[in-house]
Structure 1
Amino acid sequence: PSPQCPLCGEAAGPELEEHLRARHRHLLGDPGTRNGEQLYECPMCSLTCTNIQILEEHVELHLEEHNFSEDIRDLELAQQLQTEEDERQRSEEEKREREEFKKLQRQYGLDNSGGFKQQFLKNMEREVDRGRMLPFEYHKRKADMMESLASGIDDGKTKTSGVIEALCKYYQNENKDVRRVWLSAGVDHFHSSLGDRGWGCGYRNFQMLLSSLLQNSSFNDCLRDTTLIPSIPKIQSMIEDAWREGFDPHGASHFNNRLHGSKAWIGACEIYSLLTSLRIKCQIIDFHKPTGPMGTHPRLFEWILHYYSTDNEGGAKVVCTSKPPIYLQHQGHSRTVVGIEEKKNKTLCLLLFDPGCSSQQMQKLLKQNSDGSGLKLLRKFVGSLKEKQYQIVAVDGVLSLEEKAARCRASQVLTAEKIP
């Protein structure tokens, strides 16, 4: 590019000297002389020289220096703006993460807003305010609840018994489309109450599983201190006891080692730790991805069929097994598997107890003249279970003290058997 005049910035080209003389003579003054030689003075510093070319090169260096420092300033400004933008984004990200974390804490009941008791009282007060509960009933139910909490025993108000026995009878006479059916040993159904609605499904499914184990004499020894169904706060304390024994430290730290007095959701790992701490032998199976078309899990159904039909190979159409029910978990909810049907067209259908089903709905299944329409509540075909992942906890006998200790050590890194 043509050299620019250092005084006015115009492009002066090779005629810089003439330009300086013509335009800026008054600034330059007359060139001085030294030993008879003509001297040229740099307009940007006090240097004088005898050669106009040298002066031009010298002035160009000044200009390059000037441009370079301009570039440096631009670069510094750009870096400063980028740093400010990065900081703004980081603080927004941190704010978003804090809000997400609070939302998750609320969702999983870890936000210190109280537990079963606080929710029970709050929901009853709401019922009274809306005119759906009389004050005397509020006080009676509050007293019952306080008694249940003090004893650690579930009050049984959400329990329905006898459903498995009623199903056995129903299937004996059903001859439409079921080729064979396998049912768990007896199981009581428990549903969520005012105190655990929205978060208690894991605890309610544990109560269902335990109700079956308590009817099975093989487990008398392990369960001699747990002969009645514990309340939800009591189950929370029992899981904390399992953690204190050393089970699943990673899982325990997720809850800050504390469940009691919270609305924390529990899952397959907590059920495994609790059962194992009671010397009940069980396993977690992780159906970690679909194994059939359209996001279905046929391998889950096959595993459950195998669980119930092993040792029950006879030709009877209705097989009332001695097998305990199975705990079934997916993201956000859990249910209890109490049996499986094989249809005449060879398709499989699970029978599930859902803690979200009320006693009124479950009691329809107890009616003698049932036409089977109530079974819609329980039936789940392969096409109905399309969550990304399912985990089950299946009971498989009793542990010796040595086996329990070995499983406790192994749970330092709790792993599940993965299928596929």
Structure 2
Amino acid sequence: MSACPVCNRRLPLSQIESHVNAHFEDEIDPQIANDHYLALQLASSSSSDPPPTLKEAPFLDPFNKIVPFPQNDDVVRSQTKRPFYRVGNGGLISLLTTCLVESKTKPLECSTSLLSGYVDHFQSTKEDKGWGCGWRNIQMQCSHLLSRRDQEVKRVLFGGSEFVPDIPSLQRWLEIAWRSGFDVSGGLHFDKRIYGCKKWIGTTECAALLRSFGLRARVVDFAPEKSRSMYLSVPGSAVAPKRRAYGPMDRYVVKKGASGVEKGVDSRGSTSSRIGKGALLMDWVWNYFSDNRLDVSSGVHMTNKGPLYFQHEGHSRTIVGIQRRLQGTTFTPQYNLLILDPADFTRDIEKALVDKKGWEGYLKRGAHTLTCPEYQMLYVDNGIAVGEELEQLKTIDSHFVQF
């Protein structure tokens, strides 16, 4: 038996592949399918532009045409934006805010929700079912970055195009990142070629792509002691050097006390027995969105934090916030991650939020659902790296939080 990485249902190993692919089945509008075909062609080459002079050897694109590796300017000119279902009324996060505000609470219950701000949902389609979730989460991350008022980010990201490119264009940008020296080991695993491939990517590839623009993308590993990311599907993540976390997240690293019994530190700073991995991860996410403030009042708050790229065995999703519930006088909070999943259909999420019915099933995930042996997060710090800092970002290391 094996657990489905999307819905956690346990099935015989012989059935798991078809079951996972069924999550991504969707009826694609013929016009959108044609647009995607055109987008792929435009991303592979531009008939109106003269062929660039390149030193690198050519390779086959998805249509078996010989094309050279592009340079940055070529990708800027040829990158395309595939039509996607954009939610009105301020987007999904605005609709989610209304549902959280109006959701009923139990007597003596205090509820606090922290959100990332605007994020477009990019759903997987038939073209990328079963392998495209990593790219879709990169698109969600970038939709948030481009929605902010940071003009410097808009200037550097994707050559100043100010739109989120389609998957083939993102694949081109990742190749450029690898050839520029970002995540050398991960690039070697793919032979520095990913365009047109249906290979899984994950946190490390997202970090390499974003860092190549100077963005301060950070990776965090949640794993048992001495673990080497055996279960994560991303090659780059498996070889990324791990180091202990230093700074505001220190309190969540499990440490050994004098007696040799493993101890942890909870969100109030007191020592407790070893924290379960679900609770530990929830505490970290809460600490991230609350910016280490312990006095966050009840209600729904829009923070200045971006969404989190959330990788686990066989799948990745985007965390757009977290909800904390306190019941009566108890000091044990109950958390729900607020998640956008590429496997879900945007129209279905929107309808559930508009109708205020069934939306929890799409967006809420409690600690009991965190059953994978390892997890990775990626977040983006403010500002643009240049000079020596940019050179340092070429090495994809990670903070290590021990379960």
In the superposition, the TM-score normalised over structure 2's length comes to 0.65
Aligned match of 2:313: 331
- CA deviation map 1:255-309 (0-9, x unaligned): 1111001101111110111111111112100001397989743221111101111
Aligned AA for 2:202? G
Aligned match of 1:310: 291
2:155 to 192, 217, 221: 221
d(CA) in 2 for partners of 1:200, 1:385: 22
Assess, with a 3 A threshold, how the Cα gap between structure 1 residues 238 and 285 changes in structure 2: closer, same or farther. same
Aligned match of 2:336: 349
Aligned match of 1:153: 80
1:19-418 matched pairs, under 5 angstroms: 138=30, 140-149=31-40, 150=42, 151-160=78-87, 162-177=91-106, 179-218=111-150, 219-223=153-157, 225-289=160-224, 296-310=277-291, 313-345=295-327, 346-367=333-354, 369-371=355-357, 373-409=358-394, 411=395, 414-418=396-400
1:359 deviates by 2.1
CA contact (8 A) 2:85 2:347 kept: no
- CA deviation map 1:325-374 (0-9, x unaligned): 0000012110000010001232111011100001232122441x414x21
In the superposition, the TM-score normalised over structure 1's length comes to 0.62
Aligned residue for 1:356, secondary structure, equals: coil
Assess, with a 3 A threshold, how the Cα gap between structure 1 residues 176 and 154 changes in structure 2: closer, same or farther. same
Aligned residue for 1:179, secondary structure, equals: strand
**Greater Rg by CA:** 1
d(CA) in 2 for partners of 1:164, 1:382: 22
d(CA) in 1 for partners of 2:100, 2:81: 31
Runs of 5+ consecutive residues of structure 2 not aligned to the other structure: 1-16, 18-23, 43-77, 226-253, 255-272, 328-332
CA contact (8 A) 1:295 1:386 kept: no
Aligned residue for 1:217, secondary structure, equals: coil
d(CA) in 2 for partners of 1:157, 1:326: 21
- Report percent identity of matched pairs: 30
Aligned residue for 1:349, secondary structure, equals: strand
d(CA) in 2 for partners of 1:226, 1:196: 24
d(CA) in 2 for partners of 1:316, 1:295: 25
Assess, with a 3 A threshold, how the Cα gap between structure 1 residues 379 and 181 changes in structure 2: closer, same or farther. same
Aligned AA for 1:384? T
Structure (1/2) with the larger helix percentage: 1
Assess, with a 3 A threshold, how the Cα gap between structure 1 residues 297 and 314 changes in structure 2: closer, same or farther. closer
Assess, with a 3 A threshold, how the Cα gap between structure 1 residues 295 and 172 changes in structure 2: closer, same or farther. closer
- CA deviation map 1:195-225 (0-9, x unaligned): 1011000000000111111011222333252
Assess, with a 3 A threshold, how the Cα gap between structure 1 residues 293 and 351 changes in structure 2: closer, same or farther. farther
d(CA) in 2 for partners of 1:360, 1:349: 23
Aligned AA for 2:81? D
d(CA) in 1 for partners of 2:350, 2:166: 22
Aligned AA for 2:223? H
Aligned residue for 1:190, secondary structure, equals: coil
Aligned AA for 2:98? K
d(CA) in 2 for partners of 1:263, 1:200: 8
Aligned AA for 1:265? W
* Pairs aligned (count): 284
CA contact (8 A) 2:120 2:140 kept: yes
- CA deviation map 1:160-198 (0-9, x unaligned): 461100111222222415610001111011110121011
Aligned AA for 1:260? Y
CA contact (8 A) 1:286 1:417 kept: yes
1:386 deviates by 0.8
Greater relative contact order (CA < 8 Å, ≥ 6 in sequence): 2
Aligned AA for 1:315? S
Aligned AA for 1:232? I
d(CA) in 1 for partners of 2:162, 2:32: 24
d(CA) in 2 for partners of 1:378, 1:188: 14
Assess, with a 3 A threshold, how the Cα gap between structure 1 residues 193 and 398 changes in structure 2: closer, same or farther. same
Runs of 5+ consecutive residues of structure 1 not aligned to the other structure: 1-106, 108-122
CA contact (8 A) 2:128 2:198 kept: yes
CA contact (8 A) 2:32 2:83 kept: no
